Structure formats: C-alpha cells, structure tokens
C-alpha cells in the first residue's frame, strides 16, 4: 500500500470544497457503492454519541480518507464488517491503554509504526481545535475519541487491501 501524503490529502480537500453540492453527493454515492459496509458503519448507531454536525463531519472526513487512498492506490476491495470491527476494537484498546491525561498525548501510540502517518495527522488535526475548551467547536470533547478512532479504523482497513 502506497503512502498517502499530506499533499494528496490537501488536494482532495480542495477538490471537495470546490464541488457543487450535486457533485459532492455523487462522490458520496461512489464511496457508498465502492465501500458499502464502511458507509453503513458510518451511518450506524455506533455513532449515536455524536451530534448531527459531528456525524456529517465524520462522513466528510471518511470521504476524504477514502478518496485520498483511491487517488494513490487505485480502487480498494470492499471492506467487510468483520475487518471494521477488528480494527475498531484494536484502536479502542490502544486508546484505552494510554495513561496520558491530554487527548493529543493519548494519540501518540497511534503514530508508532504507522505506515500512514499523514492520514493520522489529518485525523488528529480534524478533531482538535486551537482552543480545546471552545464551546462553539465543531467537534465536542465527547466527539473527539469516536471520530478519531473511526478515521484511524478506516485508514487501517483500507491499508489492508
């Protein structure tokens, strides 16, 4: 699996930001067709803890991760429910095994031995605000963990292919 660079991620973000709504929806539909289990998981009750804005943001981040992977590695095999479950469980074990108090420090173990460091940095940046206590932040303190773990899980399962 080839490395997905920050440059690729940024180009995908820029491309999505410049799309009319209809074409953005087409990208989401292509994602759902190519990765039906992954998209079903993103819309599942696993993410009931998230508010509606966070759920939409998670789907947007997942689309960026998938498009970035596809751009570098070509089409990926459809991911199974079992692959998602195993990767997600492993990621929560890593997170729960961390004794650090600050959220950003709790993510450090994820960066050890990862083949996709730029995608993880993207996920980390996506859930962190400049001011961690900003009440108007897109991602709440409660939403940080599930969103980061979800993106990390997507990176893991796409990278298996």
Q: Answer whether 57's CB lies under 8 Å from 101's CB.
A: no
Q: Is the pLDDT of residue 47 over 70?
A: yes
Q: Is the pLDDT of residue 133 over 80?
A: no
**Distance of alpha carbon 140 from alpha carbon 85, whole angstroms:** 24
**Distance of alpha carbon 51 from alpha carbon 43, whole angstroms:** 12
Q: Is the pLDDT of residue 135 over 70?
A: no
**pLDDT tens by residue, 84-114:** 999 999 999 999 999 998 888 999 999 988 8
Q: pTM to 2 decimals?
A: 0.94
Radius of gyration of the chain (CA): 15
**How confident is the model over 59-80, as a mean pLDDT?**
96
Find where tokens 């980061």 sit. 148
Q: Where are the domains of the chain?
A: 6-160
**pLDDT tens by residue, 136-161:** 788 998 999 999 999 999 999 999 86
**How confident is the model over 36-58, as a mean pLDDT?**
96
Instruction: Report the residue count for the chain.
Output: 161
CB atoms within 10 A of CB 56: 12
Q: Which of 49, 50, 1, 42 is nearest to 151 (CA)?
A: 42
């Amino acid at each position: 699996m080839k490395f997905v660079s920050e440059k690729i991620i940024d180009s995908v973000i820029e491309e999505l930001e410049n799309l009319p709504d209809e074409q953005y929806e087409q990208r989401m539909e292509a994602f759902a067709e190519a990765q039906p289990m992954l998209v079903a998981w993103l819309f599942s009750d696993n993410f009931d803890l998230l508010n509606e804005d966070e759920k939409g943001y998670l789907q947007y981040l997942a689309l960026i991760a998938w498009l970035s992977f596809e751009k570098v590695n070509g089409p990926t095999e459809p991911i199974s429910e079992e692959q998602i479950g195993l990767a997600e469980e492993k990621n929560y074990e890593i997170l729960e095994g961390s004794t650090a108090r600050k959220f950003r420090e709790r993510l450090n173990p994820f960066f050890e031995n990862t083949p996709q460091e730029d995608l993880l940095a993207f996920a980390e940046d996506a859930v962190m605000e400049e001011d961690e206590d900003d009440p108007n932040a897109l991602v709440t303190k409660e939403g940080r963990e599930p969103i980061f773990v979800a993106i990390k899980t997507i990176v893991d399962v796409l990278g298996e292919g």
